[in-house]
A and B are shown apart, each in its own frame.
Chain A
Amino acid sequence: MKKVLVLFAHPKYEKSRANQVLINAIAKKEGVTFHDLYEIYPDFHIDVDAEKKLLEAHDVIIWHHPMYWYSCPPLLKQWIDMVLEFNWAYGPKGKALQDKLCLNAITTGGSKELYCSQGSNSYTINEFLRPFEQTANLCLMKYQKPFAVMGTYKLTNEELDGYGAAYNALIDSLQQF
């Protein structure tokens, strides 16, 4: 069974209904490490060595975050800047993350219809996530299809529970990958 690392970044988790449902659905699963970045590094001072060890100990890396301005919250970007070091994650000697699975699990306020060439956001979610995809590629990881919960403003609690179950199922299948 593969080990899953959920790198969760949300600056105001206590107010996020959608993310609470998602996290509750998977955080306590066996073989899943839930890593709450904003809780662990409130001062943005990331312990690079500890993070590297954590990455080495897992096979599946999930960047779990809301989409803010078509990207991730700043602490996750900080995490990427600092942890994915040259000659460790990438570069001529950077093989530490090779062949690990990697994907984004995201929530967006706007619905799926807004994220297309005709919608007000002009591009699809996959297009917005290109920087993450390429980051994973450069680090020799296998980037997977994102898990997206969209239009969270309008979702009912029942619908959200459905997404929670789906997230859980996705992690099950990743563990058997």
Chain B
Amino acid sequence: MSNVSQFTPKQDIYEQASLWISRVDRGLTHSEIQQLDQWLAASSGHRRILFELASLWDDMSVMNELSGLYPLKSAQATLSSGKDHAAKWKRQARYSSAAAVAIVVLFLGFISDWSWLMGTDNTTAQVSRRLATAIGEQRTVKLADGSYVQLNTNSIINIDFSGGVRRIVLQKGEAHFAVAHDHYRPFVVEAGANTVTAIGTAFNMQLTDTDAFELVVTEGKVLVRDTTSAQDASDATALINPDATASGQLLTAGEKANIRGQVDQRQSLTSDAMQQDLAWQQGMIVFKGEPLEDALKEIGRYTPVTFKIADENLKQKRVAGYFKVGDISGLLFALKNSFNIEHKRVSGMTIELKEITPPVSAG
């Protein structure tokens, strides 16, 4: 963190910040992400003004209301509405006549798959794909509909946006979804025997077993169902119109639940608890007094290293702190420094932990 920074007039910062917003809107390249990083690091004023303009940008999306009042002439209007699958297709065929479009709409499903095969368009290429992360890896991906998926370590999802429903299967691990609004195409994540449906909201899902997962809703509301029950399409209606659904299955922002067929252990999280739960999104794990054994199990998700503790008392020792994921040597150092726990590498990937002054032993 360098303290050297050039003096920049405030208006220039606003100018730069608005350019960054525009670039973020267009989609940043990898090197631009680093440039933005440096720009943000240069002064806290940069960050403040960037946030201020971003917030204005979001507020101004209210102007979208005008599009209903003044629909845009030409096929572009449908393109921008993003309301259904037709929009995507029309991007490539915007010059064809309305009549042709009307006929072709009947074959949309077929055509979209076709254009995907031809790979002419990046966004359509994302219509159907598989995303995975290795142990210790985390990545954020923007999907074709503008939603963001953040995959945690050792996770797999399958994406299928080809139909009238934005469908994702969480096969393994944990993911956070920030869903772009689209009332007409519900966003459905399947995990185990359940689905979670949203239209524009944010939530986190972590598989805890092959048929169970933990759900945290960070924003808006989602609908939980088991896969044997009704249609996804009607779920969107249920979200908009809450009395149309069984109330037990509608979860709102700040709620957490374990789901295995049924919604279980439903609870409201304090914002602290939620931050702790979702700290992984910032590459961190937070512990607030969990038994060491549990903490190490959590840490183990991010590394091929396994930990061994022989001593039962030590397993139950409560630990607190926040750790950067994947930084095992930092963790070991912290355990030794703050908790008097020593480590020994017993084999290639196994580390044994011991307390420096062992408790009185029976021997």
Whether A and B are associated in the same complex: the answer reads no
